[in-house]
Amino acid sequence: MAVVEVADEAKVDPSAKQKPKVNKQFRDRNQIMLARLGWRFTTPALVIVGAITIFPVVFSIVLSLSNVNITGNGFQLQGFTFSNYSLLIHSSEWRYSLGFTVFYTFVSVFIEVVLGTAFAVLMERLSKGRGPMMALLLLPWSIITVISAELWQYVYQGTYGVLQYLINSVGFGKPVILGTPTPAIIAMMAADIWKTTPFVSVIVLAGLVMLPSDVFEAASVDGCTPWQSFWKITFPLLRPTLSIAVLFRILQAFGVFDLPFVLTSGGPGTSTTSLAILGYKVMFDNLQFGPGSAVAVSATLLVLIGCLAFLRAFRTQVNGGDL
């Protein structure tokens, strides 16, 4: 990357034209050597990335486009086909999963960004104790999802769950939280929001402390109330930061797997089956490798398209170009 940048700079540099030819040749040779050196340094990393990232991705695509036949010795690829994808599009399970994943992503990311920003604004106003508060806030984020999902399981569980006990003790009966579709979805989102709001907070807080303080003073002299100051100054200036937080969260939330896997295994029925859970079930429970890969590839493609669209819409913000 650095090598490319050096070359670009040399191209735009207007003084470069006036330099003698010998010098230019020397510089070109130097750059070629630098480029070679760059390749030599990055090759080991590229090989590892290729082996553990690019190969599985490519192999998934190949699987999703093949007739996969299970045999006693593993599986065989028997020719190219689109049938795996047409199976998906016509399957109500896939469509439900897609709808659920999109809904889950939008709602939980929206709530996380709102809450996370609110926490960040509060934390920024703390004159002291910001460090310990931050550590406390980061606790949920630092717990591995599988563990935190297990912890939430204790809260939601039917026989000894805390939440059910509390609801019962205020006289609302004993709802079956994880066993009823809507409560299960809400419960799962609550667990996700609990865990990832701190992540958004930390990113937004980092953005907040970077904002120039005199601009806010100018706004207060100009007549802004604190509320106006937030919406007319803080929010627009935070947009690059918020965009990055949203992008990260969309990527993570769209691929959500561990939380529903531990909490509900995608149930009750298929009500909390995200695309990742569906792909896993099709592939490893039903051993349908072709359709399973198609689910994975479709999920990847969709989130990729979503992110690219988001980046396009918010490009200036993400680049900080608006500042």
Partner 1 sequence: MATIEMSNMKKRYPNGADVIRDVSLSIAEGEFMVLVGPSGCGKTTLLRMIAGLEDITGGDLMIGDRRVNDVSPKDRDIAMVFQNYALYPHMSVRDNIGFALKLRKTDDGEIKRKVEEAAELLGLTPYLDTKPRQLSGGQRQRVAMGRAIVREPSVFLMDEPLSNLDAKLRVKMRSEILKIQRRLGVATVYVTHDQTEAMTMGDRVAVLSKGDILQCDTPQNLYDHPVDQFVASFIGSPSINMYSAQLSEGAKFLNIGGESVELTDVAHISHPSLASYANSRITVGIRPEDLELVDKGTPNSITATVELVEALGSELLVHFNTDAKAVVVEGVKDEEETILEASGAGVARIEPRASVKAGDIIGLRPNPAVMHFFDVNTELAIY
Q: What angle do CA 168, 173, 174 make, to 5 degrees?
A: 80
| Residue 301 vs 323, nearer CB to partner 1 | 323
| Residue 209 vs 215, nearer CB to partner 1 | 215
The minimum distance between CB 204 and partner 1, in angstroms, equals 17
The minimum distance between CB 262 and partner 1, in angstroms, equals 43
By the 8 A CB rule, do 268 and 119 touch?
Answer: no
Q: Give the closest residue to 291 by CA, choosing from 93, 104, 99, 96.
A: 93
| Residue 79 vs 223, nearer CB to partner 1 | 223
Q: Give the closest residue to 289 by CA, choosing from 72, 80, 68.
A: 68
| Residue 240 vs 290, nearer CB to partner 1 | 240
The minimum distance between CB 323 and partner 1, in angstroms, equals 5
Structure tokens, 147: 């563990």
Question: Which amino acid makes up residue 73?
Answer: N
| Residue 191 vs 208, nearer CB to partner 1 | 208
Q: How many CB atoms lie within 10 A of CB 145?
A: 19
Query: Interhelix angle for 2-12 vs 21-49, to 10°?
Result: 150
The minimum distance between CB 19 and partner 1, in angstroms, equals 30
Cα–Cα distance measured from residue 130 to residue 110, given in angstroms and rounded to the nearest whole number: 25
Q: What is the contact surface with partner 1 in residues (CB under 8 A)?
A: 212, 214-215, 217-225, 228, 232-233, 236-237, 322-323
| Residue 190 vs 224, nearer CB to partner 1 | 224
| Residue 149 vs 208, nearer CB to partner 1 | 208
The minimum distance between CB 216 and partner 1, in angstroms, equals 8
Q: Which residues of 19-36 are buried (b: 16+ CB within 10 A; e: fewer)?
A: eeeeeeeeeeeeeeeeee
The minimum distance between CB 301 and partner 1, in angstroms, equals 34
CA-to-CA separations, 41 to 44, 192, 263, in angstroms, rounded = 7, 40, 44
The minimum distance between CB 232 and partner 1, in angstroms, equals 8
